[in-house]
């Protein structure tokens, strides 16, 4: 699931504001640098999610018995394989 740059930027602003408002962090660098790192991290995680989705979908489509995409069986297997792939990649 792709997010627009505006949404990622807004999320980074809100995240940093929440951390600062609740006094959970003390910045030693400019807040724009912190927001930039937050945006970079969000982007990297989204990319990993897309890669996992592609791998899981490919795996499900490779079954000899074709599953209907979106069916309850597909959804159960998709979730299972997605979690396995996350664990393999250390994303969990």
45-92 residue pLDDT tens? 999 999 999 999 999 999 999 999 999 999 999 999 999 999 998 876
For residue 53 the two structure tokens come to 């989705």
- Give the position of tokens 């999320």: 11
Say if CB 44 and CB 37 are below 8 A apart.
no
CA distance 47 to 53: 10
Q: What is the pLDDT of residue 90?
A: 83
Say if CB 54 and CB 11 are below 8 A apart.
no
Say if CB 65 and CB 58 are below 8 A apart.
no
pLDDT tier for residue 3 given thresholds of 50, 70 and 90: confident
Cα Dmax for the chain: 57
Average the pLDDT over 19-48 and give the result: 95
Ordered by start, the domain boundaries in the chain are 5-89
Model-wide pTM > 0.85: no
């Amino acid at each position: 699931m792709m997010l627009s740059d505006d949404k990622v930027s807004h999320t980074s602003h809100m995240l940093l504001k929440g951390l600062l408002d609740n006094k959970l962090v003390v910045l030693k660098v400019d807040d724009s640098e912190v927001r930039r790192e937050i945006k970079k991290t969000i982007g990297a995680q989204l990319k990993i999610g897309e890669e996992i989705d592609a791998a899981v979908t490919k795996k499900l489509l490779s079954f000899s018995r074709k599953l209907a995409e979106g069916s309850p069986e597909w959804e159960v297997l998709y979730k299972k394989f997605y979690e396995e792939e996350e664990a393999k990649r250390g994303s969990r």
